[in-house]
Amino acid sequence: MWTEKYRPKTFDQIVGNLKAKKEIMEWIDCWKENKPQKCLLLVGPPGTGKTTLAHVIASKFSDHVELNASDKRSYDIIMKTIGEASATTSLFNNGQKLIILDEVDGLHGRDDRGGVRAINRIIKEGRHPIIMMANDPYSNRIKGFKSKCKVIPIRKVHTNSITALLKKICVLEGIDFDDAVIKDLAKRSNGDLRSAINDLEVMAQGREKISSNDLDILSQKDNVSNIFDSVRTVLKSKTFRRIKDAMRLEEDPNFVLELITENIPREYEKNYEIEKAYEMISQADLNFGRAFNTRDYTYWRYTFDFMGLGVALAKDETYKKFARYGTSTVYTLLSKSRSKRDLRDKVAAKISERLHTSKKEAISQFPYFETMFQNDETAYELANYFDLEDSEVKLFRSRKIKIKKSKKKKSTNKTQNNKSTPSGLYSTTKSRKSSKNQQENEKSEKSNNKKSKNKDTNTRKTKLKKSAKRDVNTDKKVKQTSLFSFK
């Protein structure tokens, strides 16, 4: 592996990224002088030298531990590996031990459960120097701790630097080369030094000279384009061939459609162009629908034509400007509004259960419930009826419901047993559903009903008390999350 063989060992050998290197060196010096620093987050595309940098940095410290994507990185595992490391101190260099966490944006939601929490905890302890690496600076996974880190962008390596390095390797390996071929190779790599070296190794295998013919044996990797490049091609170009090529993607077509849609108004300036482009988007979506409804996925090919060529041809002529493209605001909205949506869905689920409707229909009735909840008495009754907790009531009204005192007294005797009982009314509707309880006879059902009605009011009371404690923190949040504004 040439990429390992020629991996730089010192800062001087690392190509490009002068500013980043300088910052990192200062960071190391501070640690050496025993001044704790923020943890480093190296962000940049693959093959630009993040891992190399980290290892060079590691050589400056006496000891280090590393966890990368090939390790499972759940809370326990991270705490065990790194927690141990941070508890023990090395005898040299002020006992500092470098912690390297590679590919932190690749933390898996399920398999690496709690990984982000563990990282946060380690950052907070802050006794040891930490370096983390990530590809995607906007990844949701690193959002949680990005602000606590010193973010150092690692940029793509310049083509000329890659060319120079490739030539050096050729000389060292004793391979004859064509200047043009090396240059082409460097260009193709698009700033990814590692892939350039890999490609060179593939081409040079068992040969003494590489020529332009050898370029053909390289995989078709670069034909499958990056999704943002494709979006850019669609919006910037009108050339049939280029757009057809750009649509040859190995991405979820829905995601591609979403990204093109998002960026249409960022590129196209005339409203009738936007209108025309959106007509094509609409057609593309129609074909998705057809594919989905008929389960005949040949319709997908039209989708790509509509969202590629169709959108591209909607503009009068190509714009000569720089437009900043982004991912769809829908995704950011989704992640931002998570707690709001959770609350909404929880309440909708409870209401739809009691009203024999779908959640969708329940949500469409929310505005009326909101009005009803303005009345204390109705609010109290409805909250009881739907078994809503305090925090859930906040969806409909900002004030707490005043509870009548007479009813409060009753609740004290039965407080113990309702921890395990879900509200009675709720459970009867449930029991109707579960097939086990089908054989239950009517009598017990009825008596059950009576009992549960009593319990229901009591459950509510204790829930009020309990949740009052629990919700001290969340209350403030919920206040703002009321979905509809009150007049």
Partner 1 sequence: MSGPWVEKYRPNNLEEIVGQDHIVQRLKRYVDEESMPNLMFTGPAGVGKTTTALALAKSVLGDYWRQNFLELNASDARGIDTVRTNIKNFCRLKPVGAPFRIIFLDEVDNMTKDAQHALRREMEMYTKTSSFILSCNYSSKIIDPIQSRCAIFRFAPVKGNHIIKRLEIIAQKEELDIDIKAIESIVYFAEGDLRKAINILQASASVSEKITEESIHEVVSKARPQDVKKMINKALNGDFLGARNILREVMVVQGISGEDMVTQIYQEVSRMAMQDSIDEETYVNLISSISEYDFRIREGANPRIQLEALITKFLSKSRTD
Site for partner 1 in 217-256 (CB under 8 A): 254
| Nearest distance, CB of residue 284 and partner 1, angstroms | 8
Backbone angles phi, psi at 292, to 5 degrees: -70, -45
Give the amino acid at 222.
Answer: D
152's enclosing H/E stretch is strand 149-153
| Nearest distance, CB of residue 316 and partner 1, angstroms | 15
Subset of 321-350 contacting partner 1 (CB under 8 A): 329-330, 333-334, 337, 340-341, 344-345, 348-349
Of 75 and 278, CB closest to partner 1: 278
| Nearest distance, CB of residue 258 and partner 1, angstroms | 8
Alpha helix locations (H) across 79-158? 84-87, 115-125, 140-146
Q: How far apart are CA 468 and CA 273, in angstroms?
A: 54
Q: What share of the chain is helix, strand, coil (3-state, %, to 5)?
A: 65, 5, 30
Task: Pick the piece of the chain touching partner 1 (CB under 8 A) from 8-16, 31-39, 408-416, 479-487.
Answer: 479-487
C-alpha of 72 from chain center: 18
Q: In the set 90, 371, 415, 467, which binds partner 1 (CB under 8 A)?
A: 371
Backbone angles phi, psi at 100, to 5 degrees: -115, 125
Subset of 282-311 contacting partner 1 (CB under 8 A): 282, 285-286, 288-293, 295
Of 100 and 259, CB closest to partner 1: 259
| Nearest distance, CB of residue 277 and partner 1, angstroms | 8
Task: Pick the piece of the chain touching partner 1 (CB under 8 A) from 76-84, 87-95, 225-233, 354-362.
Answer: 354-362
Answer yes or no whether residue 318 interacts with partner 1 by CB under 8 A: no
Q: How far apart are CA 84 and CA 78, in angstroms?
A: 9
| Nearest distance, CB of residue 141 and partner 1, angstroms | 21
Beta strand 209-210 with 97-101: parallel, antiparallel or unpaired? Answer: unpaired
Q: How far apart are CA 43 and CA 134, in angstroms?
A: 5
Q: In the set 124, 360, 409, 419, which binds partner 1 (CB under 8 A)?
A: 360
* CA neighbours closer than 13 Å in the CB half-sphere of residue 289: 6
Answer yes or no whether residue 261 interacts with partner 1 by CB under 8 A: yes
| Nearest distance, CB of residue 443 and partner 1, angstroms | 11
Answer yes or no whether residue 398 interacts with partner 1 by CB under 8 A: no
Of 270 and 465, CB closest to partner 1: 270
Of 82 and 235, CB closest to partner 1: 235
Answer yes or no whether residue 32 interacts with partner 1 by CB under 8 A: no
User: What residues does 65 pair with on adjacent strands?
Assistant: 99
| Nearest distance, CB of residue 165 and partner 1, angstroms | 44
Q: How far apart are CA 221 and CA 238, in angstroms?
A: 24
Q: In the set 274, 309, 323, 403, which binds partner 1 (CB under 8 A)?
A: 274
Contacts of 361 (CB under 8 A, 6+ apart): 352
Answer yes or no whether residue 433 interacts with partner 1 by CB under 8 A: yes
Answer yes or no whether residue 404 interacts with partner 1 by CB under 8 A: no
| Nearest distance, CB of residue 186 and partner 1, angstroms | 39
Asked if residue 304 lies in contact with residue 253, where contact means CB atoms within 8 angstroms, the answer is yes
3-class secondary-structure state, position 485: coil
Q: In the set 92, 228, 240, 272, which binds partner 1 (CB under 8 A)?
A: 272
Answer yes or no whether residue 275 interacts with partner 1 by CB under 8 A: yes
Q: In the set 10, 70, 223, 271, which binds partner 1 (CB under 8 A)?
A: 271
3-class secondary-structure state, position 412: helix
Beta strand 97-101 with 130-134: parallel, antiparallel or unpaired? Answer: parallel
The residue count for binding partner 1 (CB under 8 A) is 71
Residue with tokens 């509509």: 306
Edge-first strand listing for the sheet containing 149-153 = 63-67, 97-101, 130-134, 39-43, 149-153
Asked if residue 322 lies in contact with residue 291, where contact means CB atoms within 8 angstroms, the answer is no
Of 135 and 448, CB closest to partner 1: 448
| Nearest distance, CB of residue 358 and partner 1, angstroms | 3
| Nearest distance, CB of residue 168 and partner 1, angstroms | 49
